Chain A
Amino acid sequence: MKRVLFALIVIAVVFVAVPSLSAADAKTLTVWCWDPNFNGYSMKEAAAVYNKSHPEVKIQILDVPENIEGKIEAGLQAGGAGLPDIALFQDYVIEKFILNYPNAFVDLKAAGVDYSKFAAYKLGPMTEGNKIYGIPFDTGSTGLWLRADYIKAAGLNPDSYQKNMTWQDVINLGVAIKAKGGKPLLAYDTTSFDTLRIMVQSTGTQFFNKDGSLNLRTPAMEKSLTILKELNDKGLLYNAEGWNNWVSAFNNGETVGLLNAIWIIGTLKSQQANAGKWMAVPTPRIENVQGARNASNNGGSSWYVFSSSKNKTVAVDFLKSVWASSTPDALNFYNTILKGAGAMGTYLPSRSGSNYTAPDEFFYKQQPVYKDFAAWMENVPTLLYTPNYVAMRDAVKNAILLMFKGDLKTVSDTIAHAEAEYKQVTGR
Chain B
Amino acid sequence: MNKKGASSRYLDRVGWLMIAPAIILYATFNLYPILSSLGMVTRKWQGMRSTYIGLGNFARMLNDRIFWQSLGHNFLFMGIQIPIMIMLALILAAILNDVRHGRGTLRTIFFLPCVTSLVAYSVLFRMLFQTNGLLNNLLMKLDLIQSPIGWLNDPTWAKATIMIALTWRWTGYNMVFFIVGMQNISNEIFEAAEVDGANKRQQFFRITLPLLRPVILFSLVTSISGTMQLLDEPNVLTWEGGPANATMTAALYIYRQAFVLNSDFGYAAALSYIVVIITASFAFIQMRLLGRRDQ
* Chain A contacts to B: CB under 8 angstroms: 67, 69-70, 73, 76-77, 96-97, 99-102, 104, 190-191, 239-242, 244-245, 387-388, 390-391, 394, 398-399, 401-402, 405, 421, 424-427
Contacts and interface: CB of A to CB of B under 8 A. Distances in A.
A427 B261 contact: no
Given A241-B131, A388-B261, A426-B261, A76 B47 contact: yes
Given A241-B153, A391-B262, A421 B66 contact: yes
B243 A401 contact: yes
A82 to B, nearest CB: 15
Contact of B130 (A73, A245, A427): A245
Interface of B: 46-49, 60, 63-67, 126, 130-132, 152-155, 239-240, 242-245, 257, 259-263, 267
Q: Which of A70, A239, A240, A427 has most chain B Cβ within 10 Å?
A: A427
Contacts of B130: 241-242, 245
Nearest to B45: A100
B188 to A, nearest CB: 45
Contact of B48 (A70, A76, A391): A76
Q: List the 8 shortest-distance A-B pairs measured between CB atoms, nearest first.
A: A100-B47, A398-B244, A427-B60, A191-B239, A70-B259, A424-B66, A101-B47, A100-B263
A190 B155 CA distance: 13
A239 B154 CA distance: 12
A96 B153 contact: no
Contact of B262 (A100, A101, A245, A405): A100
Given A242-B126, A421-B66, A427-B63, 17 more contacts: A69-B259, A70-B259, A96-B47, A97-B47, A100-B46, A100-B47, A100-B48, A100-B263, A101-B47, A240-B131, A241-B131, A245-B130, A398-B243, A405-B154, A424-B66, A425-B257, A427-B60
A387 B131 CA distance: 34
A242 B129 CA distance: 12
B66 A73 contact: no
Given A191-B242, A425-B64, A102 B262 contact: no
Nearest to A388: B262
Q: Which of B243, B259, B262 has most chain A Cβ within 10 Å?
A: B262
A69 B240 CA distance: 15
B263 A239 contact: no
A254 to B, nearest CB: 9
Contacts of B240: 394
A245 B261 CA distance: 26
Nearest to A190: B153
Contacts of A99: 47
B124 to A, nearest CB: 12
B259 A427 contact: no
Q: Which of B131, B152, B244, B259 has most chain A Cβ within 10 Å?
A: B244
B261 A390 contact: yes
Contacts of B47: 73, 76-77, 96-97, 99-101
A387 B46 CA distance: 10
Nearest to A192: B239
A90 to B, nearest CB: 12
Contacts of B126: 241-242, 244
A239 B60 CA distance: 36
A267 to B, nearest CB: 18
15 contacts: A70-B260, A73-B259, A96-B263, A97-B47, A99-B47, A102-B48, A191-B243, A242-B152, A387-B46, A387-B262, A391-B262, A399-B244, A401-B244, A425-B257, A427-B267
B65 A424 contact: yes
Given A76-B47, A101-B47, A102-B48, A241 B152 contact: yes
Q: Which of A67, A239, A405, A425 has most chain B Cβ within 10 Å?
A: A425
Given A190-B153, A425-B66, A427-B267, A96 B244 contact: no
Nearest to A103: B48
Contacts of A97: 47
A98 to B, nearest CB: 10
A241 B131 CA distance: 8
